[in-house]
Amino acid sequence: MGGVVVIGAGVGGCYTAFRLAVGSREVTLYASGHRVGGRIWSVPVRGGGWAELGAMRLNTEAAPVMALLKHLGLAGALVPFSFGRPENVVRTRGVLLRQRDFAHPTRIPYRLGKRERGSNADELTLLAVESVVPGFGRLREEYHRAVREGRDADAASVRARYRSAHGAALVQGEPLVEVSWPRVLASALSPEALRLVADTDGYDLHPGGAAAWIDVLFRTPPRARYVTLSCGMEALPRALHTRFEEAGGRTRRGRRLCRIDRAGGTGGTYELTFAVEDQAGRDTGRRERVRARTVVLALPQGALRRIETGPGVFGPSWAEDLEAVEPVRAAKLFLAYDEPWWRACGLRAGRSTTDLGLRQVWYEPGGASRLLLAAYPTGPSASLWDRFGTGPALGEPASGAMFDGGPPATAAAVAHAHRLLCRMHGVQAPPPVAACWQDWGRHPHSGAWHVWRTGRDTERVAARMRAPSPGGSLHVVSDCWTEDPGSVPGALGCAEQVLQAHLGLSPPPWSS
């Protein structure tokens, strides 16, 4: 009862548990399922490399994460992560372009306005933001230069100037905070430019709030350098979990929190009810009850929604705050081939985009030379794959052997994806030999990541979510309600805020 109970063994829960245990607290980590890592899931590929079913890259400017990786002895495993490349494909409106073709407006099958011509999806997006928050591009450049050079006071001053421009921004007379992201794009771009962004950005336009999304763009460095872990991204939560147990922490796997009550109806103690799961993650019907004074719910929105609560657990704004963010669906389909046929098209790394249902194609991701991240649909595009949801999987048990422990894809989904890949690249490639499919919109998940809805005071909601239980020590650690939703830095940043502001920990020694 005197210790801390942390629920959820994703990177946020593992980090919180590790920090508390190293700080000599008695901690028990409860994990539904039997895998550590949550939305970081690295499936080993036979012959080397990883299929990253969840998070796959980190931005090197995320200093706390880089410092943590160094502290954990993982910095040596960081390798460059390739993103856009001039030779990569943009296949849209039936035309096969290379990214470098955007410099030649006549090749682009969209009737763009004069100031839009020559711009790709990223550049058009920035054009739209600039028209709403004048000076955005310059301020972003200045801010990130100051961050890179360690000039903290300058960075804070540029950020304040940006905040003031952002606070004053109006879209067709309405404050930015009340306007959705698609509306900002529609207000600033011609219909054809908007279509180009929607078709070729790779990610479906999300319906979230413009103000919070422009903040995310501001915090993303202009020419971001991305890295990944050559030993798989899951090495991060695993290393945290190992250190947690080495520091005396205890893990209870196969325990899904299903109910929270205020014990005895009063005081600062919680009674937690767990459903006991079997190895396959099925509810055995057994229930386990635990009492704790300090509880950390390291869970995303969907998981929190599913927990029943007794009276007085959460304050009056809980229900509204919980719904302040909106889940974004995403799925990943990996295909393995006997030969990397895409190399003959001059493609070896990074991503291509398309208006076809694949949306994004990544070449040889995770260091696996015969692998494609063949489809990465998000939002409404992910739903287009629902029709392939059931049926026989491709080549089992071969697919199981190629992707060690990865969820299989149905043969129909694989055949469809392969057809689209051939169309996209203008080739007749031999069929794939194995496949792996993960849909983060399906049970037990409710979304891959989240975006803030319009009209929310993000800072106030985030602060309330970190301490949502009046008079008690119950906290939410999650990337969902942060300034970096949908990211590992968001989850870790939120954990640090809870640890320092509510659980009495000092900043970690490796961060100085």
The residues of the shown chain that bind ligand FAD, judged by CB under 6 A, are: 7-13, 30-33, 38-40, 54-58, 256-257, 298-300, 303, 330, 332, 440, 448-449, 478-479, 486-488, 490-491
By beta-carbon proximity to ligand FAD, the closer residue of 298 and 356 is 298
Residue type, position 103, single letter: A
3-state SS track over 306-328: CCEECCCCCCCCHHHHHCCEEEE
By beta-carbon proximity to ligand FAD, the closer residue of 11 and 409 is 11
Least separation in angstroms between residue 369's CB and ligand FAD is 21
By beta-carbon proximity to ligand FAD, the closer residue of 22 and 299 is 299
By beta-carbon proximity to ligand FAD, the closer residue of 260 and 420 is 260
By beta-carbon proximity to ligand FAD, the closer residue of 300 and 395 is 300
Dihedral of the alpha carbons of 9, 14, 17, 21, in degrees to the nearest 10: 130
Least separation in angstroms between residue 343's CB and ligand FAD is 24
Residue type, position 15, single letter: Y
What phi and psi values does residue 105 have, to the nearest 5 degrees? -50, -30
Least separation in angstroms between residue 341's CB and ligand FAD is 25
Closest listed residue to residue 401, CA positions, set 158, 20, 46: 46
Give the strand pairing for 308-309 and 255-262: parallel
- Within 133-232, where are the H helices? 136-148, 152-168, 181-188, 191-200, 210-219
Least separation in angstroms between residue 367's CB and ligand FAD is 15
- Within 334-410, where are the H helices? 380-383, 398-402
Least separation in angstroms between residue 385's CB and ligand FAD is 14
By beta-carbon proximity to ligand FAD, the closer residue of 10 and 221 is 10
CB of 337 within 8 A of CB of 370? yes
Structure tokens at 316: 């009056």
Least separation in angstroms between residue 300's CB and ligand FAD is 5
Least separation in angstroms between residue 309's CB and ligand FAD is 12
**Extended strands (E) in 60-179:** 78-80, 89-92, 95-98, 170-171, 174-175
By beta-carbon proximity to ligand FAD, the closer residue of 85 and 351 is 351
- The SS3 of residue 147 is helix
Give the strand pairing for 434-439 and 331-336: antiparallel
